[in-house]
Amino acid sequence: MRLSQMLFVTLREDPAEAEIPSHKLLIRAGYIRRIGSGIYAYLPLMWRVLTKVRQIVQEEMNATGAQECLLPQLQPAELWRESGRWDTYTQAEGIMFALKDRQERELGLGPTHEEVITTIARDMIRSYRQLPLHLYQIQTKFRDEIRPRFGLMRGREFIMKDGYSFHADEESLKKTYQDMNQAYSNMLTRCGLAFRAVEADSGAIGGSGSQEFMVLADAGEDLVLYSEDGQYAANLEKAVSIPADAEPSPFTTYEKRETPGAETIEKLCQFLKCSPTQIVKNVLYQAVYDNGMTVLVLAMLRGDQEVNEVKLQNELVRLAENYGGKTVLSLIVPDAETQQKWAVEPLPLGYIAPDISDDRIRCDKQLHPKFLRLVDKTAVELKNFVTGGQEPGYHVVGANWGEQFQLPERVVDMRKAKVGDRSIHNSNQHLQSARGIEVGHIFQLGTKYSKVMGATYTNEQGTEVPLVMGCYGVGVSRLAQAAVEQSYDKDGIIWPIAIAPYQVIISVPNIADTQQMQVAEKLYTELNQTGIETLLDDRNERAGVKFKDADLIGIPYRIVTGRSLQTGKVEVIERATHKSQELPIEEIAATIKQWLRNP
């Protein structure tokens, strides 16, 4: 391609709309253009990158025996009502764009395709002889993200590879899951990315687990905790650990003390001269289930620990049946104003005790009459602890479970693991953290969708049983931008060779010089014929502008047909290192071919 004929517009200044380097660079270098919030046009250079990523994804998927297909983006609401996700996706999370057609039928724009694929499986898979089966597609997804940002990283319209597998049993699912684990590692390695596979939260679906593939970069929205020996790695949402030991309590007798102004753990520790590990803190949450029932939750944990709201939410979904619901629509820490809706009288925030009376909750059929009391493992072991005094300005010290307070029935792990905690696989290993960009997620779904949607098959014994499922996603457009986030310098993008839009750019310093143009044209034809994707910068611009642009767009090798022509050579510059050398014109094609093979 000739730059003179391309829609090639680069910007010298950082665009105001962009915060992170990869977003700035992709806009400056003319790869993408913002059309609306979370909506981007992929311009020709970007489309070439995306096509390469797609190709790698397709090759690795096909190698596992998965088959490509294309499912509809317009999805009838009935399918989502069958799975029970319509309300959650259109209202609670509100992530799905929903619309009505002119016949007043409701439709959603596909944010994901479990419902569609399960319908197909229900209709078409009858017998164990048809299993296992794995279908995937690469397609534009729609999600009405609350905070679209960082360009392609979190768009409202983006490209995803999503695959769904069907199995006769868990064992077969595990095998495909392993194959996917390998295929995903292969994809990311081939795309030239540094990544880490981490244990991920599977929501309340359960199943035997899920794993995320994180591209490591400071701009990543996810936090990964990992042990120094690399044996343990998990998303913070999911991570478990051994917390620091509690310090022995100095309070040997139970008494109520006045603690004015000590409504935070920090102030309380200062006032009582104690350690946060000697405190049981009681965090109040308000959960609303999908049937409209509000449940007040008292989460008790050690003073130095924080609630992991993902774990808490999962626990609440597990308990949904007790409240006549299926899922949790919202989970918040209620402020004084929100409490007015359900509290008989204002609660002593900051001073609540584990035994706060259920009489505090107003009588209302949409309000569960009792607090749901959950205690974290860290709080269970405490002796002679400090906790709220049930009235503003008071705490109790020297308290014990089974004496002053009844230990709640439900002991759960709902704390955030943190840096410095000991690892569960080996207590000599301490957890460290890194930021990551989630580019892939593989998931053992089990029978969640097949059960509710009635997707069954007849097994070898002649019994009809639900299909066992797995699902596997790659954010193709996010991955492409993540590659830039991991590889750039002050001059611009440095594409990994495998996904660079072109491999070579020939910059002609002066197009009025016939010899410069002749050699450039000759090399341009020759390289393209050899299969080396080559751009020709034949614009009527100053050499400096061309070199800057070549660096900005990040093409792995730049050839300059300049002064060295006098000795029958051209200058070749490697983008990543800026290393330059002069090579005889006739050796160029073979040499670059060699480099591309062994970069």
Of 95 and 98, nearer to ligand ATP (C-beta) is 95
Q: How far is the CB of 495 from ligand ATP (least distance, A)?
A: 19
Q: Which long-range contacts (CB under 8 A, 24 or more apart) does 307-310 make?
A: 307/283, 307/414, 307/415, 307/416, 308/236, 308/237, 308/414, 308/415, 308/416, 308/417, 310/201, 310/237, 310/238
Distance CA 549, CA 240 (A): 47
Strand-strand pairing, 394-399 and 294-302: unpaired
Q: How far is the CB of 135 from ligand ATP (least distance, A)?
A: 16
**Sequence-distant (≥ 6) Cβ neighbours of residue 210 within 8 angstroms:** 199, 200, 201, 202, 441, 442, 443, 444
Of 436 and 562, nearer to ligand ATP (C-beta) is 436
Q: Which amino acid is at 113?
A: H
Instruction: Please check whether residue 379 is in contact with residue 412, taking contact to mean a CB–CB distance below 8 angstroms.
Output: no
Instruction: Please check whether residue 234 is in contact with residue 198, taking contact to mean a CB–CB distance below 8 angstroms.
Output: yes
Q: How far is the CB of 518 from ligand ATP (least distance, A)?
A: 45
Of 21 and 38, nearer to ligand ATP (C-beta) is 38
Q: How far is the CB of 310 from ligand ATP (least distance, A)?
A: 11
- As a whole number of Å, the end-to-end CA separation of the chain is 23
Of 143 and 448, nearer to ligand ATP (C-beta) is 143
Distance CA 376, CA 507 (A): 64
Distance CA 255, CA 520 (A): 88
Q: How far is the CB of 477 from ligand ATP (least distance, A)?
A: 6
Q: How far is the CB of 427 from ligand ATP (least distance, A)?
A: 30
Edge-first strand listing for the sheet containing 280-289? 328-332, 280-289, 294-302, 372-376, 410-412
Of 52 and 143, nearer to ligand ATP (C-beta) is 143
Of 238 and 558, nearer to ligand ATP (C-beta) is 238
Within 13 A of 358's CA, how many CA atoms are on the CB side? 10
CA distances, 130 to each of 69, 140, 175, 452, 518 (Å): 17, 29, 16, 21, 61
Q: How far is the CB of 306 from ligand ATP (least distance, A)?
A: 20
Of 165 and 277, nearer to ligand ATP (C-beta) is 165
Residue 12 per-residue DSSP state: S
Of 398 and 475, nearer to ligand ATP (C-beta) is 475
Q: How far is the CB of 34 from ligand ATP (least distance, A)?
A: 14
Q: How far is the CB of 504 from ligand ATP (least distance, A)?
A: 30
Q: Which amino acid is at 556?
A: P
Q: How far is the CB of 439 from ligand ATP (least distance, A)?
A: 5
Of 396 and 439, nearer to ligand ATP (C-beta) is 439
Q: How far is the CB of 522 from ligand ATP (least distance, A)?
A: 42
Surface-to-core class of residue 206, CB atoms within 10 Å of its CB (0-12 exposed, 13-18 middle, 19+ buried): middle
Of 356 and 484, nearer to ligand ATP (C-beta) is 484
Residue at token pair 């729609």: 142
Q: How far is the CB of 148 from ligand ATP (least distance, A)?
A: 7
The enclosing H or E element of 174 equals: helix 170-190
Q: Which amino acid is at 534?
A: T
Neighbour tally for 311: CB within 10 Å: 21
**Sequence-distant (≥ 6) Cβ neighbours of residue 415 within 8 angstroms:** 243, 301, 302, 305, 306, 307, 308, 311, 376, 377, 378
Of 85 and 368, nearer to ligand ATP (C-beta) is 85
Identify whether 132 is preceded by a cis peptide bond (ω within 30 of 0): yes
* Nearest alpha-carbon partner for 362 in 299, 408, 298, 294: 294
Of 109 and 527, nearer to ligand ATP (C-beta) is 109
Of 112 and 390, nearer to ligand ATP (C-beta) is 112
Distance CA 402, CA 309 (A): 27
Surface-to-core class of residue 120, CB atoms within 10 Å of its CB (0-12 exposed, 13-18 middle, 19+ buried): middle
Which residues contribute to the site for ligand ATP (CB under 6 A)?
112, 143, 145, 154-155, 158, 160, 438-441, 473, 475, 477-478
Q: How far is the CB of 154 from ligand ATP (least distance, A)?
A: 4
- Return the residue nearest ligand ATP (CB atom): 475
Q: How far is the CB of 476 from ligand ATP (least distance, A)?
A: 8
Of 207 and 475, nearer to ligand ATP (C-beta) is 475
User: In which region does residue 556 sit, left (phi positive, over 0), alpha (psi from -120 to 50) or beta (all else)?
Assistant: alpha
Maximal C-alpha separation, the chain:
96
